Amino acid sequence: MKLSANLGFLWADTPLPNAIRAAAAGFDAVECHWPYSIPAEDVAATLTETGLWMLGLNTARGNVSAGDFGLSALKGREEEARDAIDQAIDYAKGVDAAAVHVMAGFGAGDAAHRTYVENLRYACGKAASLGITILIEPLNRHDVPGYFLSTTDQAVAIIAEVGRPNLKLMFDCYHVQRTEEDVTHRLATLLDRIGHIQFASVPDRAAPDHGELNYDYVFRAIRALAWEAPLGAEYKPGGDTDATLGWMATARKI
């Protein structure tokens, strides 16, 4: 099983280039949340140094102090949303990242839906010539109440409506289990729409060695689906990341 370290959570107290170097000790790839304070050329150089691949990054959240958690479903803020999309795609190009997660933000209703669809079409159009996949991720209502995109069914319907081949679902096992359960069945059903898979324990979003989901079983189910891309370890270590990596030895053998 190939694995990616999400450096938004793992080694999060370490400057990004050093976090990439730390991940090189056991991971095949890395991914980020919001790397924009670090010049893309510095990240690209560290990726070359370590031989790791950057799988993806997120669009900026917006005005965090005002409560923003994404912009692309916010009616009236289309210009900001597209600036964030441009920024993310440009950064992804600079580090040769495979994907950009376009964050929807808080909202509901038809206006939010239409705004999100149009912004996703914009993102897909800009990313297509660069070979970049656009991802959308449902976030569970327990952790992120009010987030526009909350279920895989909603995401699949939006993917169909947008109608672009480079728009895919980011399937986070943690969020799906919290909202919908039946993770392995949902993985099998949605496989052709999935662009990336992430994981963490449920319900505490820690290392995948305890909790409601048996990740030995989940990882074997993913392997049986012939999934070959790295799986994203997006969990909160609650302290020293290196002390939480015991699960990797078993996962590597699957």
For 30-65, how does the pLDDT look when each residue is reduced to its tens digit (9 = 90+)? Answer: 999 999 999 999 999 999 999 999 999 999 999 999
Q: Given this model, what pLDDT does residue 35 score?
A: 98
Average pLDDT, rounded, for the chain: 97
Domain chopping of the chain, boundaries = 3-252
Active-site pick, 137, 161, 212, 228? 137
Q: Given this model, what pLDDT does residue 65 score?
A: 97
Name the residue with tokens 């990616």.
Answer: 4
- 3-class DSSP state of 197: strand
Instruction: Tell me the per-residue pLDDT of 225-252, one tens digit each, with 9 for 90 and over.
Output: 999 999 999 999 999 999 999 999 999 8
- Measured in degrees and rounded to the nearest 5, phi and psi for residue 61 equal -75, -25
In 40-77, alpha helices (H): 40-50
Angle (deg, nearest 10), helices 109-128 and 152-162: 60
Instruction: Decide: pTM greater than 0.75.
Output: yes
Contact 64, 87 (CB under 8 A): no
As a dihedral over the C-alpha atoms of residue 45, residue 51, residue 57, residue 60, rounded to 10 degrees, the angle is -20
Q: Given this model, what pLDDT does residue 66 score?
A: 97
Q: How far is CA 69 from CA 17, 85, 205, in A?
A: 25, 14, 19
Residue among 68, 64, 57 at smallest CA distance from 32:
57
**234 catalytic per annotation:** yes
Instruction: Tell me the per-residue pLDDT of 152-207, one tens digit each, with 9 for 90 and over.
Output: 999 999 999 999 999 999 999 999 999 999 999 999 999 999 999 999 999 999 99
- Measured in degrees and rounded to the nearest 5, phi and psi for residue 66 equal -95, 0
Class of 3-252 per CATH?
A: alpha beta
Interatomic CA distance for residues 8 and 58, integer angstroms: 10
Q: How far apart are the first and last CA of the chain?
A: 5
Interatomic CA distance for residues 124 and 89, integer angstroms: 10
Going by pLDDT thresholds of 50, 70 and 90, the confidence category of residue 127 is very high
Going by pLDDT thresholds of 50, 70 and 90, the confidence category of residue 16 is very high
Q: Is the dihedral of CA 7, 9, 15, 21 positive or negative?
A: negative
